[in-house]
Every structure is written in structure tokens, then in C-alpha cells.
Structure 1
Amino acid sequence: MKRSIQFKRCLRQIENTFQLQVVIFVLTLLILFTTAKIILYPTLKHSIQQGYNDDYKNEILNNNISQLRNILIKGSVTNELPIKDIEKHPEKTYNIPSTIHIIWVWTEIPQKYIRNVLLMHEMNPHFSLYLWLDDSSFQNATLISWINRERLKTKNVDSLQLNNPELIYDAKKLKRKGVLSDLLRYEIVFSFGGIYMDIDTIALKAYPTDILRKSFVAYIGEPYNNLNNSFFGLP
């Protein structure tokens, strides 16, 4: 009888201990789940949304660039969608003058960029080259006089008849050299026609003559994948 009672007590203790362990295990799971929901879920959700947003933005950007490139090169957003009701000019009216324009303003032109200009001049004997400077960049008179040669001439941007003088004035007043250069390149090419190129461009070979057949703009590949105004041509 005593053994039976002791055995039952032992079973109850084991049962109580097991129940307690189950309760502790369940509580532990609840705590871990709650912690994960509070801390990890927002982070994971943000990461997923951020990745989605980045992919979406890249898709939109690439689509816009692709459409703009089609408009510039093919004349329409898609190959099957021609532009109507616009007179098509003869091919000869698109000819670009065989002239290269390069700009440097506000400071004396560095020697390394002068080498770029001379190399471009030497490698393209079928082009005339104009180096546009302002009063500040004309400081080295000896060097400037040496640069002036057949097909390579220096010109002063301050002598330009500007189409948008107020924009040029604002860029100078705010001392925005990059903005000033951007504005001047359009003013120059619009007025004289030809090809504009940045002064830090290094010539690897001569330009082909068929580059002068139509207006063009540079396309920069990886990692930017966009259009760029560092090299373009207009009639």
C-alpha cells in the first residue's frame, strides 16, 4: 500500500515537472516570436521594400534612357512609331561643320589639357579646332601665341554674341564654373555648328568623316548608362 502511494506521488511529480517544462517551452517560443516580429520583421520588410524600390527605380530609369535614346537616334519612342506631320529634310541639311570646339574658362589652362588639345589637333587633320578661353585663361600669352597655328585657333568667349546672356551672367555671378561651361558649349555650337568635346577627352584615333552626317550626342555606358553632353555635334 505504501509503495503504491509513493509510486503515485512520483508520477504526479513527473507529470507536474513535464507540464512545467511544456509551459516554459511555450513561453520561450512566444517570447522569441514576439522579439522576431518586433525587431527582425520591420528590418526584413524594409530590406525587401528597399530592394523592390531600387529595382523599380532602375527599371524606370533604364526605360526612360532607352526611350530618349530612340527619340534622338531613331526619331521615335519605338521602331514602329514614326513621327508624323513633320517635314523630312534632305540628308545634306544635316551636315555638321568639320570644326571641334573646346572650352576652358576662369583659370590658366593646365599643361596636361594643352597636350590633349594638341593631340586632338594632330590626329584630326581634316578638322579645324577652336580653343575657347576667357580673359583669365588667356594669361599665358606666350603659350597662347604658340598654340595658334593652322587649323588650331584660340577664341575669347567674352566676344560671343550670346542668345541667353542672363544665364551666362548668373553663372558667372554665382561662380558656377561647371554651369558656365555647360551654357557656353551650347551657345558656341548653336552659333557656329560643329563638334563640342570636353578638354579632358583624350584622342585615341582620328574621327571618321561620316560622323558629320547627322547631329549626335554621346552615350556613356557602365556604370552610368546615360546620355552625356561631354561630346556632341550639331549642324
Structure 2
Amino acid sequence: MRNCSRCGRPLAPDAVRFCTSCGQPIEPNERVEQVEPVERIEPGGPAQEPPSAAADRRSRYDWRVFAAIAAVIVVAAVTAILLTRGTGPSRVAAGPPAASSTPAPTGTTPSPAATDSLAAVGPSLTPSVEATDTSMSPQATASPTVSPSAAATAPPNVVTAYYNALNKHDYQAAWNLGGDNLDSDYATFKAGFARTASDHLTVTGSSGDIVSVQLAAHQSDGTILDFAGTYTVVNGKIAQGSLHSTGTGVP
């Protein structure tokens, strides 16, 4: 390569007419022909590429490495963001915790911490009462309910009520309970108990409408007249009666 005759600087290969530094015209004999670099081949060794080609390839390689590193960084950042959002606080409302199957000891006072936790959670921790299977437990047999009217019209109760009215000297009530079927008229019926101080009745049996009794009629003179017999009760009223004397005694 030749230098400019004026400024002394090397002439560029494309400076065919003027010096690119000072503008000095170049004589035809001073023109510089561009010479292609000759690849130097060492004996017995691989061919060496020109330095400019190697630098260009390294430059392209550096950009590829940088792009790959940048892509890895972006992927790592996106993954970290997704993982951070996935492990954040859940917005799904938690249901009431399952009640413990282990019964608490009787008489144990809950600790203050346990009390505070229950108060914080609120009414959702209210233990629910499970239904108990009573299919195998003995069932109480309910006795049939007897209405007052049915009990009053039962044959033994009608006969007992009849003698209770006589002992109270309530002859009209006794007449209404069946005395009208035992005597011809009310006056005769009432007079028949003039000497009776009290009657002690014992129901000895009942079969359907028929009631068996024993009667101790205490007289006003102190004697006791013993009787036995039966009464027939129909529709809550004495329909007929039959007594016979079994003896007379003195208390």
C-alpha cells in the first residue's frame, strides 16, 4: 500500500483519483489497487479464516447468546409471578370445621385460647346434634287414653258411684244412676234407706255389663247386714240388681 505524496497518509484502496484525507490528486502511477487478502495456510494445519470473518461470527454468536439469556429471564419472571398468584390467600370461604368425634371430658373447663378461637370463628362452630337411632331402643308403650265419660260409664264405676251417692244421702243422684230401675217410685226408694247409716261396698268382679259385689250395710242401731249379689249396667246406668243376705253381725 502506498502513501499520499502530500500528507503521507495511506491511500485507501477506493481512492482512485484523490486522497481521501487531503484531496491531493493521485497520479495514475500512484493509484492503489485493492488486493484481496491471501489466506495463509500453515503446512499440515487447518486453514485460518480472516480476522474480520471471525469477528463477525463472534458478534452474531454474542447476540444469539444474549437473546437466549433474555428469553430465559423472561420465562423465569413469568413463572415466578404465576406461582406467587397461585399461592396467595384463597378466596374460597372455608366451611365449618368438622365436629370432633371424641367427646369432651365432663366438667372440663375450656382453655382461654380455645374460647377465643371459638368466638373468632362465630356461630358456624355451633355443634350440631346428630339424630339418634331409636329403632333398637325399647319404646314405651302408651296406655290407651280413656275419656272421663267412658271411665264414668264403666260398669264397676257406675255401681261405686251409686253407693257413694247413697252414703252422701244424695238419693236423687242414686235414683238417676239406676235407682229408678230398682224400685217402683222415688219415695219408696228413699224410704228403704231410712235405717241405713252407711254402706261399705266391695267390687269382687266384673264381666261385661255384670258387676259382682259384696255389701256391708251398717244400720243406725249398730248392726251390720251383709249381702252379696250382682248388678247389670247398661249405657252408664244400673238396669237391674239382685242381692241376697249372707248374714247379720254386730261390729
Sort the TM-score into its range (normalised by shorter chain).
under 0.3
Larger Rg: 2
TM-score by length of structure 2 reads 0.24
Bigger relative contact order (CA 8 A; separation at least 6) = 1
Structure (1/2) with the larger helix percentage:
1
